């Protein structure tokens, strides 16, 4: 097992990464406050893993119950969140009750938000079971739900007590979901570590095949990168926005297509190709760098041609992005592989990028 630390003063917490961890009582014990814990999971993950987590918490002498949510991005909204509150109140959960998020990013974001709100804040633990949630969403304390008009628009910063990332859970993950997680892995290399990016390029075949040793390395390096950014800028006053590379376009795709039609990682993969194209158009990166990124996204079995929502709709959706200020859309661009920055862009360049990506995509999409 490897343990990293997210350094946030008295709210610092460990990220445990390894095999055979998700139901290890010794990892849960230090972080379960009070006399009871409530596991929040969904109808896919619950039957696979909840009984073992319940048994582990029970062995600590704590009362434990499980709330099972419907599965999918389309359920990341108020009504589902309310089901968590209903269950907590019915169970007599108090201020020391610890919530345990058992699942992917959707369960993690909603459980974290429920923990931020219930009685104005209770502790929670992240047990991420998708690649995406292990490399990204379980770390950093962004929690929330979607609104029909915009992605993750209602939420709170609320850090977990601990993250327990068990690589074994990836064995049951469908290939499409594994690919979606690779988008955020590629993102971490692209924005922060050119050597990591090159390592992903070299090992993409084995990563696609979910080789356990390589997966553990990818989870570790991605969590190091994310933890380092979060420690410097927890509430996204500057640097943290670089973690949004590909998300200005990506969130527009998710909301515009209807949540769940494109997976978050798929939308981010395509969004990174669009952001790289914009970076090239503005002269920050060369054609080879843009092509390397697009080729890697494609090699990770992710889409590189954007859906045609229409230019006006893309712009309308992107204006709802949380980075936008006074209606002005901000993008994360690449200065080179391993270095990203936040900026506004001229309308004409955005127009040309959307035309290229959506309206008239090249026959060999952006990989040549």
Ligand X SMILES: NC(=O)c1ccc[n+]([C@@H]2O[C@H](COP(=O)([O-])OP(=O)(O)OC[C@H]3O[C@@H](n4cnc5c(N)ncnc54)[C@H](O)[C@@H]3O)[C@@H](O)[C@H]2O)c1
Ligand Y SMILES: O=C(O)C(=O)C[C@@H](O)[C@H](O)[C@H](O)COP(=O)(O)O
Could you list the active site residues? 120, 142, 184, 226, 236, 240, 244, 247, 251, 264
Instruction: Single out the residue of 334, 128, 152, 175 nearest to residue 254, CA to CA.
Output: 152
Residue 256 sits in the site that holds ligand X (CB under 6 A): no
For ligand Y, give the closer residue by CB, 40 or 64.
Answer: 40
Residues contacting ligand Y: total by CB under 6 A: 11
Please write down the HEC assignment for all residues of 282-335: CCCCCHHHHHHHHHHHHHCCCCCCCCCCCHHHHHHHHCCCCCCECCECCEEEEE
Q: Are 181 and 130 in contact (CB under 8 A)?
A: yes
Residues 6 or more apart whose CB falls under 8 angstroms from that of 96 comprise 33, 34, 35, 122, 123
As measured in angstroms, the least distance from the Cβ of 1 to ligand X is 18
- DSSP codes of every residue in 76-95: -SHHHHHHHHHHHHHTT--T
Q: Which stretch binds ligand Y (CB under 6 A): 81-89, 210-218, 241-249, 275-283?
A: 241-249
Tell how strand 2-6 and strand 98-103 pair up: unpaired
**Choosing among ligand X, ligand Y, none, which partner's interface includes residue 265 (Cβ < 5 to 8 Å by kind)?**
ligand X
For ligand X, give the closer residue by CB, 98 or 152.
Answer: 152
Q: What is the DSSP letter of 71?
A: P
The single residue among 17, 37, 56, 73 that binds ligand X, judged by CB under 6 A, is 73
Residue 136 sits in the site that holds ligand Y (CB under 6 A): yes
Residue 248 CB neighbour total at 10 angstroms = 26
Instruction: Single out the residue of 191, 228, 130, 183 nearest to residue 334, CA to CA.
Output: 191
CB-based burial label for 245 (10 Å; 0-12, 13-18, 19+):
buried
Residue 246 sits in the site that holds ligand X (CB under 6 A): no
Give the chain's count of helices (H) and strands (E): 14, 11
Residue 225 sits in the site that holds ligand X (CB under 6 A): no
The single residue among 140, 256, 269, 365 that binds ligand Y, judged by CB under 6 A, is 140
The single residue among 36, 57, 67, 104 that binds ligand X, judged by CB under 6 A, is 104
- Footprint (CB under 6 A) of ligand Y, residues 152-181: 152
Q: Which stretch binds ligand X (CB under 6 A): 59-67, 68-76, 193-201, 327-335?
A: 68-76
d(CA 362, CA 350): 17
**Choosing among ligand Y, ligand X, none, which partner's interface includes residue 73 (Cβ < 5 to 8 Å by kind)?**
ligand X
As measured in angstroms, the least distance from the Cβ of 295 to ligand Y is 21
Map tokens 């949540």 to a residue: 259
Annotate each residue in 167-186 with x if it binds ligand X (CB under 6 A) or - if it does not, as one string. Answer: --x--xx---x--x------
As measured in angstroms, the least distance from the Cβ of 132 to ligand Y is 8
Residue 111 sits in the site that holds ligand Y (CB under 6 A): no
Q: Which stretch binds ligand X (CB under 6 A): 43-51, 193-201, 231-239, 323-331?
A: 43-51
Q: Which stretch binds ligand X (CB under 6 A): 41-49, 189-197, 281-289, 332-340?
A: 41-49
Tokens representing 181?
Answer: 């997680």
For ligand X, give the closer residue by CB, 78 or 344.
Answer: 78
**Choosing among ligand X, ligand Y, none, which partner's interface includes residue 50 (Cβ < 5 to 8 Å by kind)?**
none
CA dihedral defined by 72, 76, 78, 82, rounded to 10 degrees?
A: 60
Tokens representing 228?
Answer: 């380092």
**Choosing among ligand Y, ligand X, none, which partner's interface includes residue 366 (Cβ < 5 to 8 Å by kind)?**
none
Tokens representing 332?
Answer: 């994360």
Sites of contact with ligand X (CB under 6 A): 42, 44-45, 48, 71, 73, 76, 103-107, 109, 129-130, 132-133, 136-137, 140, 142, 152, 169, 172-173, 177, 180, 264-265
Sites of contact with ligand Y (CB under 6 A): 136, 140, 142, 152, 184, 236, 240, 243-244, 247, 322
């Amino acid at each position: 097992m490897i343990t990293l630390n997210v350094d946030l003063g008295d709210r610092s917490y460990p990220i445990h990464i390894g095999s055979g961890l998700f139901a290890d009582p010794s990892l849960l014990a230090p972080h379960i406050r009070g006399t009871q814990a409530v596991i929040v999971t969904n109808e896919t993950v619950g039957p696979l893993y909840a009984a073992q987590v319940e048994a582990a918490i029970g062995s600590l002498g704590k009362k434990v119950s499980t709330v099972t949510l419907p599965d999918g991005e389309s359920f990341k909204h108020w009504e589902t969140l309310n089901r968590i509150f209903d269950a907590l109140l019915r169970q007599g959960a108090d201020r020391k009750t610890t919530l345990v998020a058992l699942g992917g990013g959707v369960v993690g974001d909603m459980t974290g938000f429920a923990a931020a709100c219930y009685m104005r804040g209770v502790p929670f633990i992240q047990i991420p079971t998708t690649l995406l949630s292990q490399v990204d969403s379980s770390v950093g304390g962004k929690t929330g739900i979607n609104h029909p008009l915009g992605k993750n628009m209602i939420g709170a910063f609320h850090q977990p007590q601990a993250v327990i990332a068990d690589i074994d859970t990836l064995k049951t993950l469908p290939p499409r979901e594994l690919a979606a997680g690779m988008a955020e892995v590629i993102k971490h290399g692209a924005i922060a570590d050119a050597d990591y990016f090159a390592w992903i390029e070299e090992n993409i075949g084995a990563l696609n095949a979910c080789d356990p040793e390589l997966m553990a390395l990818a989870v570790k390096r991605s969590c190091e990168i994310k933890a380092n950014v979060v420690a410097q800028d927890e509430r996204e006053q500057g640097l943290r926005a670089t973690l949004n590379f590909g998300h200005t376009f990506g969130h527009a795709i998710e909301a515009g297509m209807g949540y769940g039609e494109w997976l978050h990682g798929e939308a981010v993969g395509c969004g990174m190709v669009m952001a790289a194209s914009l970076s090239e158009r503005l002269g920050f990166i060369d054609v080879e760098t843009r092509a390397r990124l697009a080729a890697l996204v494609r090699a990770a079995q992710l889409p590189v041609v954007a859906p045609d929502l229409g230019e006006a709709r893309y712009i309308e959706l992107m204006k709802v992005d949380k980075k936008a200020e006074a209606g002005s859309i901000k993008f994360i661009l690449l200065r080179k592989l391993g270095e990203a920055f936040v900026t506004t862009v001229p309308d004409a360049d955005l127009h040309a990028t959307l035309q290229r990506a959506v309206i008239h995509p090249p026959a060999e999409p952006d990989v040549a």
